[in-house]
Amino acid sequence: MLKVFQNIPDGIYDGCFTLFIGEHDKMEKWLGKKYPGVSISDDNNFGESFALESKDKKIVNVIWLQKYNHSISDQGVLVHELLHFTIGELKRRGFSLNSGSEEAYTYFLESVYKNALERLNKKTNKQ
């Protein structure tokens, strides 16, 4: 089974990301239907974060988790992948991680983590 949570807002900019939970090949098939020709490596057993460029040149941010059951371990994997997303997204926006920019990174990470949890909690009625 593949769970798809689309258009989760980043909460800081006008961006968003899609969170997939389930089998990697099912995610790749789902993305392949929407974005033909997409090829995604399966380098990680637990999670992955990457960006695709759509045909209309929009960046599509993707977070994939093998599973998510609200455990501390699963939350750790989620925040790990969201940090990869944060670094990539802010780099695309011209930031570089240093002592002068770390607050931007931490606020962005906090925002995407809260928005992801809010969507996951709403979908599963878990608080």
- Per the rule left: phi > 0, alpha: psi between -120 and 50, beta: everything else, 106 is alpha
Mean pLDDT value across residues 29-50: 81
> Alpha carbon of 15 to those of 9, 30, 33, 42, 123: distances in Å?
6, 21, 22, 25, 21
| Gyration radius from the chain CA atoms | 14
CA 94/CA 28 separation, integer angstroms: 29
Spell out the domain ranges in the chain.
2-124
Taking 90 as the threshold, does the pLDDT of residue 90 lie above it?
yes
Mean pLDDT value across residues 58-67: 92
Element (H, E) at 119: helix 102-124
List, for residues 13-36, the tens digit of each pLDDT value: 999 999 999 998 899 899 988 888
CA 102/CA 104 separation, integer angstroms: 5
